[in-house]
Amino acid sequence: MVTPMSTLRRRLTRGAFALLSLAVPWGLVPQTAAAQNNVLHVYSARHYPGDEALYEGFTKATGITIRRVDSDDAGIVARLRAEGPASPADVVLLVDAARMAAADAQGLFRPVQSAKLDAAIPPELRAARTPEGVTWTGFSTRARVIVYDPLRVKAEDVATYEQLADPKLKGLLCTRSGSHPYNLSLFATVIERLGDEKGQQWLNGLVANMARAPKGGDTDQIRAVASGECGVALSNSYYLARLVKSDQPEDRKVMERVRVVFPNQATTGTHVNIAGAAVARHTKNPEAAVRFLEYLASPEAQAYFANGNNEFPAARGVVLDNPALKAIGGDRFKAETIPLTVVAKNLTKVQQMLDRAGYK
């Protein structure tokens, strides 16, 4: 005998069923409290193979099983909003401070009090503390570096982010979309330093120096510099490390053609962004969720971040041991210390400034 639900499923299109699955939360089958406490539901925007070892390490250390939903940041936020208090999510993993701040502003995270996290993670890599606690924490970092063609551009002409707007680079600059969170986070911190008037002039200068309209991802920018289409570009550091480690001859040729600058070493330091985590607002297992966040700050987990996805450790006292990052200078740069909370404060304003500049 066919049940009404199976009939309904047969009639649903694949796309409609996928949409329905976003709105219907897990956990419809009753579980005992002990069973619930031994399972952690993680919504993750991280899609890196090395993270499997991270999850396995946590389970081995605690006996807690991880059940994971993978999506992009927007999909995870949409799902959390649709599920509301019925959401099974315990932990949320996102890959950019701007995205963490935007989700936090929507009330999707639960404040955490943890002496272990306070001791391990610098305050500039976390959300601002309130009496209730800290809503999100960065657990790995990536530097926003400048990639240039040494045949067309001198290193001293791209030593700072501010120099990217210098007219001498006219027709040479390539970037991905200005509205992409990786750029928004950088722009928000630069404008925090420069102020609104000079910040607008800087963005106008970037647009004036474009070799082509913004498009593609960071790896596309690196390849465009290597091919001669561009003379200078912005990229997150781990994209370069991937090319260094690649066994593809064409990737090695790309890295032979380009050079890398960690900007603003004589002044404020290079901008770093984070991949971070938060306890979901409606978690049913808050103790295990906090244990997972504390595990992410451990030396073992920090090594997974560094070696699995070529990110920099965020925890104090963890030594970088990744030859690919060292090859591009990642073991000897000064990082910016402006709190990433300024990203949240400046996001709307920066987007409006980008619109005025005509930065696509």
Give the C-alpha separation, 245 to 240, whole Å: 9
Give the C-alpha separation, 220 to 349, whole Å: 28
- Inter-residue contact 304 to 50 (CB < 8 Å): yes
Consult the annotation and say whether 238 binds a ligand: yes
Dihedral, 256, 162, 123, 305 alpha carbons, nearest 10: -20
Q: Is 73 left (phi over 0), alpha (psi -120 to 50) or beta?
A: alpha
Give the pair of three-digit tokens for residue 300: 């073992």
Give the C-alpha separation, 324 to 359, whole Å: 32
Phi, then psi, of 173 in degrees rounded to 5: -85, 135
β strands within 281-335, DSSP E? 312-313
Helices and strands (H and E) in the chain: how many: 16, 10
Consult the annotation and say whether 180 binds a ligand: no
Consult the annotation and say whether 359 binds a ligand: no
Residue ranges of the annotated binding site are 47, 238-239
Residue ranges of the annotated binding site for Fe cation are 47, 238-239
